[in-house]
Amino acid sequence: MSDNARRVLTALAVSFCASSANAQDELTLSTRTLDALVHVVAHEIGHAVLREFDLPVLGPEEAIADDFATVYVQLMFPDRAEAIVSARADQDIADNEETEPFSEYIDDDWRAGRSVCVLYGLDPERYAGLRDRYGMDEDDASNCEDLAPEVGRSWRRIIENYRMPKGVRVTEAYFAGDDIPLTTFIVNSQLSEDAGTMLRAIDWHSQITLAVEACEGSGGWSRNGRRITICDTYVERFERQLGQ
């Protein structure tokens, strides 16, 4: 692990119980799964930003958090953003869930397309590979180039108001995990460093915890606990879909 990663883990006050060495050796996650999970964490940070700073929710919150995640990933990791967003989009396409008429969620195909569209439109030259990968025609590309700059500009202006001042040590972000091999693996992976980078960039006014837990479900933000939770079964599903 790099020195920077160690500093991230220290800043996040990591607390977890290590599983057996054999169990750790058996657990591996693909790069694409880890990339997709970066977008998942960014999405949950989007919910946290909306709720912790009492921002207006003028539309479906899940879609708003997705846009935040794509813009935030592009802002924080511009050189890796295409891999991160495409991995998440491919996972959404693999899920291929259709939502009910009154759901707060949107169909997975639309969700995937929206994230790809926003990232491509933020920098069409840098992310030109997304056009061929997802079969954009000229009208699609033009639409994304019109749409994304407004989305990106809006979120950058908002994020700038809540950025951590340079040189100030983070004291409000923590990492916790159940006593499972996944916790140990993630702590020692690029994902922990990426999650730390994203969490440390926000000037939270109260403690935020990122937790990896043995649970059924997906990922979620709990305002009462000020806690982002990632379930192990969710990660396992990503690996089945993306790890081939």
Q: Are 35 and 80 in contact (CB under 8 A)?
A: yes
pLDDT at 75: 97
pLDDT of residue 33: 97
Note whether 70 and 85 are within 8 A (CB): yes
Task: Considering only CA atoms, give the Rg of the chain.
Answer: 18
The answer to whether the CB of 176 falls within 8 A of the CB of 184 is: no
**CA pseudo-torsion sign 165, 166, 172, 177:** positive
Report pLDDT for 182. Answer: 93
* Helices marked H in 56-128: 61-76, 81-95, 108-122
Task: Output the pLDDT for position 72.
Answer: 98
CB-CB contact of 42 with 73 (8 Å): yes
- Number of neighbours of residue 193 by Cβ within 10 angstroms: 19
pLDDT at 26: 64
**Positions in the chain whose pLDDT score sits under 70:** 1-26
Task: Please tell me the predicted confidence (pLDDT) of residue 196.
Answer: 93
